[in-house]
Chain A
Amino acid sequence: MSNTKEGAEASPIEAKTQPDEAYYSLDPADLYYVGVNVPCQNACPALTNVPAYIRCLFEGRNERSYDINRIANLFPGVLGRICSRPCETKCRHGEPELGKPVGICHIKRSAADFRDPGPPAVTALGPSVGKSVCVIGAGPAGLAAAYDLRLAGFEVTILEALPEPGGMLRYGIPEFRLPRHILAGEIQWVVDHGVALRTGVRVGRDVTLDELLNTFDAVLVAAGCYVSKPLDVPGEKLPGVYTGLRFVMDIATGAAPVLGKNVLVIGAGFTAFDCARLALRCGATNVSLCLRATEHDLRVTEEEVFETKREGVKILGLMASNRMIGANRLEAVEFLRTKPLELLPNGKRRVAPIPGSEFTVPCDAAIVAIGQGAEPLRSPGDTDPRGVLRVDAQTFRSSIPRLYAAGDYATGPTTVIEAIASGRKAAQRIAEDLGCNQTKQWAVKIQASPITDRQRSWDYIPRMEMPTLMPVQARLTSPQAEVEQGLSVDASLEESKRCYLCYLHYEIDISRCIYCRYCLDVAPRDCIKLVKSIVLNEAGAVVGYEETKIWRDVNAVVIDNSRCIRCGECVRVCPVDCISVSKVELVQRTLPCGRN
């Protein structure tokens, strides 16, 4: 680690609350280190401090565990149920020989489940800036931006077109995955900070963007993506063909369509899965999900796929819809077989329909859930051909001064956690542009840590399975009942033990090392290396090691923290105590403007 101490002095507030040895580093080498070595936090678009909240839950500090989440992602109870979990795909426990990733998302939910009931305390607001911002859309991005702007001292008004706040969380995610009281509670907490929420106001119909720009100091468009993408195949307009979003929204508003018994769902994302499961809950008995690629290319979580199949949905691969068939109403869908091609950089599989391989599947209804786009908004600025406002990806600014856009509206459909992160970044940009009194800064907090109490046996604890509502029939008879029941206290504790706590940094003090190599003998994998030299990047961060097997060439014994599973065996066995443990965390600090 670099030893820069800047930042410790920079923050008198932090100095008071952290009287221990902690200091804050802005050194690019340290920022690089946490990026590589705490993969879960780095994978989270909102940079949630995952090891810290898992550790708090393990220590029984549920309230604190919830708070660490809330500080980063605002809605732990919601995300603990429906997050797409980019953290888990990067979890070191999931590396090939190490088992399955830690159930990070389940632990997040446990933190929300086990904390004291009642809303958490309202966060203290920053000094008033005397300026006002209008946020269009009360979805995850809009709510996150409103919350941050309010904390930064702005007057914030959210305009929501639909009758209830929550956006896709409320209208796009079925109740069996996200109970409405959980969502309402966490949204209310944001509103309780003094955010003015006006629902049922559609910009463009009830008020124009120009009027808003005249009334407010800035306007942030976070209106989401509510226009379903068409398949562009003949027959798509036949009665019996539904769009995924329309179908999900109709059910959310209590107007479930009559589907019939045999339903085909076309699509491969979370919405497609939700549609298939909702179709069963609407009385369909034979529901098939039709994928262009294969089940293995899905980016929906494995648990979601399993539960969907368990409810009776069939997943059919390698078929691309070609046309919808029916005289007055949909009777069948014609597909072409596909051949899988290479994997694209965005993780999607390219496929090629095979000419001449047409086949038809009879059905009573088809639900097309292949994605959404943003709704055009009559806007004075630079727009794309469809009429959607264009903004800069980094600054969130449009071509019109004081008009910004964030979340799915700006980027196209993403995940809830990405939308939250986008809203927060946009808020920071707006606050800086409008001249606020404080700013936010990411820094690496470094403090000495006692040796971990993790035991090697904890590495072999199997991943705890999420208990679900059983038998399956119970889900269909009460369609709103939440399927995932939440881990028990004991199971959460077991799951939290599985976390390696990658924010712990292990280091050998070469000046005291006697090269006895005991640590190498107890190392669980190739985490301790005999090296000739260390490869640094321009910033001075360790990016590699030149290993050697020739003893006379060994210049150091080093712990490769990107391979280390923080088992602590090396520290315990070292005869001269030359291995130190420190806690290295990426944290966000609020600083008065002009200080960093």
Chain B
Amino acid sequence: MARERCVIIGNGPAANAAAAALRQETSDLDIMLIGEESFPHYRPHLLPAYVAGSLQKEDLFVTPASFYEECDIRIRLGQRVTHVKFDQRELVLSHKEIVPFDALIIACGGMQRIPERLQIFEELMLTLKTPADAQKWRAGLQTAETILILGGDLTSLSFAKALVSTGKRVQFILQEQSFWPLPLTPTLADEVKQRLTRSGVEVLEASRVHRLTQLSQDVIEVETDVGLMTANLVGAFYGLAPNVKFLVRSGLDVERGVLVDENLRTRFDLVYAAGDCAQIYHPALRDYWVSIGYKNALEQGKVAAQNLAGGMTTVAASPANIFCVEGVMVNTSWWMEF
């Protein structure tokens, strides 16, 4: 008889923590990781340093290939899951391959969020979520002198500082509605502004971007509420949104993320969600929340695996680090460590 198979969608911290924990719990399970990106498991929070040149590409990666071999975990990279058929217990990959599963852990993380009103200018902006994004920044920075950062998520703060360290002129438009995952209160806004200014970043008075226009190959004109300006590169940093669109009509409960209970269980038996893509209803908080950050993801991956193996572990909610963002509570414990 074939071994039972647990598929883990994702190759980030939650997915890898789940795979490792699952292997610890059970030796006879066929564990398969399916990652959309072609890079091995990396630390996204190191990308700004990599772009600035203070880290090498190798420094980004966490788990060596030998780990998977030793643990008998199959890993498939550069393969995208397009939909999941829960009644048949199979998932379909973008190249039409059908992969059956007995158990499933969804740990597909988040994707770069760009506000709807700026989406038509998407091609004129760079983001920083993956090593592939980082390569684009590195290529662009070879000639760019002025860089404009829009938004104000947590990555953007360390990234702006990293750019200043390379001697570039860095301008920042902090957008109140877009600061993510934290809501930008006036006090917090002032603090962030001061910290950025101290690090050599020019924080502009503008608060809204109307239009981006490509003037020449390396000059982009930006129309804001206070006038026109130009930059060589424009970065969009509006935080992450759970990457769960492919699950919307699958029968799973999906809102911002995959809805799960405090044990990370979904509506379906033996199907769990963990990390940035999970939206958890926690009885202690009496609300849904999404957790952001590497450390939270590691913990949740582990919890999902343990519960799948028969445990009843509850994910920890740390209310002090939980903020309401666009109607969803967000756990940002990593913000404190940042």
What is the interface of chain A, defined by CB distance below 8 A to chain B? Answer: 96-97, 288, 294-296, 306, 309-312, 314, 316-319, 337, 339-340, 354, 356-359, 470-473
Contacts and interface: CB of A to CB of B under 8 A. Distances in A.
B287 to A, nearest CB: 6
Nearest to A343: B251
Interface string B221-237: 00100000000000000
Contacts of A339: 259, 281
B320 to A, nearest CB: 18
B327 A316 contact: yes
B45 interface: no
Contacts of B115: 309
B286 A340 contact: no
Given A96-B82, A96-B83, A317-B255, 16 more contacts: A309-B115, A310-B119, A312-B177, A314-B326, A317-B256, A318-B288, A319-B327, A337-B286, A337-B288, A340-B253, A354-B281, A357-B286, A470-B211, A472-B117, A472-B210, A473-B210
Interface string B320-338: 0000001100000000000
Contact of A337 (B83, B120, B281): B281
Contacts of A470: 120, 211
State the 8 A-B residue pairs at the shortest beta-carbon distance, nearest first: A316-B327, A310-B116, A309-B116, A294-B255, A357-B286, A471-B210, A310-B117, A296-B248
Contacts of B60: none
B117 A296 contact: no
B73 interface: no
A296 B286 contact: no
Given A340-B253, A340-B259, A314 B288 contact: no
B116 A356 contact: no
Contact of B327 (A96, A288, A472): A288
Secondary structure dominating the interface of A = mixed
B254 interface: yes
B326 A357 contact: no
Contacts of A318: 255, 288
B268 to A, nearest CB: 13
B281 A296 contact: no
Q: Give the interface residue-count category, chain B.
A: 20 to 34
A306 B96 CA distance: 29
Contact of A356 (B96, B248, B286): B286
Contacts of B326: 314, 316
Contacts of A356: 286
A516 B96 CA distance: 28
Given A294-B254, A318-B288, A357-B286, A471 B211 contact: yes
A472 B254 CA distance: 29
27 contacts: A294-B254, A294-B255, A296-B248, A296-B255, A309-B116, A309-B117, A310-B117, A311-B117, A312-B117, A312-B177, A314-B327, A316-B326, A318-B255, A337-B286, A339-B281, A340-B255, A340-B259, A354-B281, A354-B286, A356-B286, A359-B287, A470-B120, A471-B117, A471-B210, A471-B211, A471-B223, A472-B210
A359 B177 CA distance: 21
Nearest to B251: A343
A97 B96 CA distance: 9
A473 B288 CA distance: 33
Contacts of A306: 116
A68 to B, nearest CB: 32
Nearest to B259: A340
Contacts of B117: 309-312, 471-472
Interface in B158-183: 177
A490 B120 CA distance: 20
Contacts of B223: 471
A295 B327 CA distance: 13
Interface string B280-306: 010000111000000000000000000
Contacts of A472: 117, 210
Nearest to B247: A296
A273 to B, nearest CB: 14
Interface in B84-130: 96, 115-117, 119-120
A447 to B, nearest CB: 38
Interface in B53-104: 82-83, 96
Nearest to A339: B281
Interface of B: 82-83, 96, 115-117, 119-120, 177, 210-211, 223, 248-249, 253-256, 259, 281, 286-288, 326-327
A339 B287 CA distance: 10
B37 to A, nearest CB: 23
A296 B327 contact: no
B115 to A, nearest CB: 8
A531 B217 CA distance: 58
Contacts of A310: 116-117, 119
Contacts of B281: 337, 339, 354
In this complex, the member of B259, B281, B326, B327 whose beta carbon has the largest number of chain A beta carbons within 10 angstroms is B327
A288 B324 CA distance: 14
A359 B287 CA distance: 9
Contacts of B83: 96
A404 B297 CA distance: 62
B239 to A, nearest CB: 14
B152 to A, nearest CB: 17
Interface hub of B177, B256, B288 (most chain A Cβ within 10 A): B288
A296 B116 contact: no
B29 to A, nearest CB: 30
Contacts of B248: 296
B254 A296 contact: yes
Contacts of A295: 255
Contacts of A317: 255-256, 327
A250 B170 CA distance: 49
Contacts of B177: 312
A349 to B, nearest CB: 9
A294 B248 CA distance: 10
A74 to B, nearest CB: 33
A312 B178 CA distance: 11
A357 B285 CA distance: 8
A354 B282 CA distance: 11
B252 to A, nearest CB: 10
A55 to B, nearest CB: 31
A306 B249 CA distance: 18
A200 B255 CA distance: 46
B255 A337 contact: no
B222 to A, nearest CB: 12
A316 B327 CA distance: 6
A470 B120 CA distance: 10
Contacts of B119: 310
A314 B83 CA distance: 27
Nearest to A468: B120
Contacts of A359: 287
Nearest to B83: A96
A311 B287 CA distance: 28
A357 B116 contact: no
Which residue, of A311, A319, A473, has the highest number of chain B Cβ atoms within 10 A? A473
B325 to A, nearest CB: 11
B275 to A, nearest CB: 20
A97 B120 CA distance: 25
Contact of B287 (A309, A357, A471): A357
A165 to B, nearest CB: 36
A7 B307 CA distance: 67
Nearest to A358: B286
A310 B119 CA distance: 9
B181 to A, nearest CB: 15
Nearest to A294: B255
Nearest to A349: B253
Nearest to B324: A359
Contacts of A358: 286
A309 B119 CA distance: 11
Contacts of B327: 288, 314, 316-317, 319
A394 B230 CA distance: 65
A135 B249 CA distance: 43
A460 B34 CA distance: 28
